[in-house]
Amino acid sequence: MKLHVISTGRQSREELCTRVAAIEPMIDFFHLREKQWSASEIAGTIDALTELGFPTEKLVINDRVDVAVAKAVPHVQLAGHSLPVEEVKRAFPFLNVGCSVHSMEEAITAEKRGADFVLFGHVFETASKPGLTGRGLEALQRVTQAVSLPVTAIGGLKPENVSRLQRSGASGAAVLSGILLADDAEEAVRRYRYRLGRR
């Protein structure tokens, strides 16, 4: 399973880049998802990561297709408020385009519209969505069985529950604060990798 790390919206550019660069050898993808940042701030962060040696092929830019294209980042992740996936694929066929989905029906629609991968969640209860129960592993399995796309699970993932995702057909696990806000981000990545069967 691939290990995806997603920015939390709670760190400065400097702290974020330092932490992400340190864990780069142990992760598969880093999603830059800073909803309050301007295009120039996102572009500057890409530049800072690149200067620290982070490979652009491991970067996924959330929502800002324009920044991804301008900075030659090959992966974008679209949310519900983003441009429609079919328009992005038509204008930029070289981009690898993912969609955030919350149901089997949304995943099927994303695949029909040309998405290359989906993020499904939230699987487990998470502090970022207080009062909302997780959609669960059965819902995750329904999604993975309904589409041929890679499905990355997100939401409430901890080292002790992440290994259960593979039995539901997930191809990846996406983690935010569990890694980037941990006291020791590198040790946190090692714990997730161990539970995912990655050494």
Is residue 102 annotated as a catalytic residue, yes or no? Answer: no
Q: What is the 3-state secondary structure (H, E, C) of the chain?
A: CEEEEECCCCCCHHHHHHHHHHHHHHCCEEEECCCCCCHHHHHHHHHHHHHCCCCHHHEEEECCHHHHHHCCCCEEEECCCCCCHHHHHHHCCCCEEEEEECCHHHHHHHHHCCCCEEEEECCCCCCCCCCCCCCHHHHHHHHHHHCCCCEEEECCCCHHHHHHHHHHCCCEEEECHHHHCCCCHHHHHHHHHHHCCCC
From the candidates 4, 31, 75, 122, which is the catalytic residue?
Answer: 122
Active site (catalytic) residues: 122
